[in-house]
Amino acid sequence: THCITVILLTFQTNIVTELKNWKLNLIQHHKLQMRQEKEKHTAHVKQLQNEVENLKELLHTYEISIGRKDEVVITNLSKALEKQKERVELMRRFTLWRIQHMKAKQEECSIRMADKHFQTALMKKVWAAWRSVCEERWKNNVAKACQLRAEDVCVQLTNDYEAKIAELTATVEQARAEILRLHSERDQYEDTMKKAFMRGVCALNLEAMTMFQSK
């Protein structure tokens, strides 16, 4: 019984340790992914900032060129500037989409983690219920076994005591028979002594009478 309890405790400890390790590994993996995505996002934002700075410099150059060149150059620069603006707008939209995608991915990962945590908690509850049922059954089996053993011991003790009582009863009967025999022998001995004493008295009386008569 003690071995089974130790095995169950060891098995439960191993399961809890494995779940904790799995949870820690999952959290570390999630943190690593988040850090990598954040680094990517930071690098991308930095790249966009560099491009914006370059565009600002280009815009400044265009503004200087506009002041120096004719209408054709101004038109070409304006078209180029519009293209750059469109590109910046596209990059801005792409960045917003990427941020929303990352948020959705984070929410999905959080939902998965919450679901796994719920499943783990449910498994713990099921394990605790199963263990409680097993312990209750084990206690009932042990109680029944102890009761049967106690009944067997009581029956054995009753038989032993009855045999001992019968033996002592036989011994008492033998002692009583021996006492009766000794009483009978004593009565016979007393009767024999009385008879012998009476014979001795009679013999003394006859001898005394004979002596008196002779005198």
Reported as a pLDDT band with limits 50, 70 and 90, residue 71 is low
Q: Quick one: what percent of the chain has pLDDT higher than 70?
A: 88
pTM of the predicted model as reported, rounded to 2 decimal places: 0.30
Identify whether 62 is part of a domain: yes
Is 51 within the bounds of a domain? yes
Confidence at 54, pLDDT banded by 50, 70, 90: confident
Residue 25 placed within a domain: yes
Cα dihedral across residues 111, 117, 118, 119: positive or negative: positive
C-alpha 80/C-alpha 74 separation (Å) is 10
Q: Does residue 212 lie in a domain region?
A: no
Q: Is residue 206 part of a domain?
A: no
Show Cβ contacts of residue 19 under 8 Å, excluding neighbours closer than 6 positions: 120
What's the domain range around 156? Answer: 2-198
Q: Is residue 135 part of a domain?
A: yes
Q: How many domains does the chain have?
A: 1
Average pLDDT, the chain: 80
**Is residue 65 over pLDDT 70?**
no
Residue 209 lies in a domain: no
* 207 belongs to a structural domain: no
- Position 12 scores a pLDDT of 77
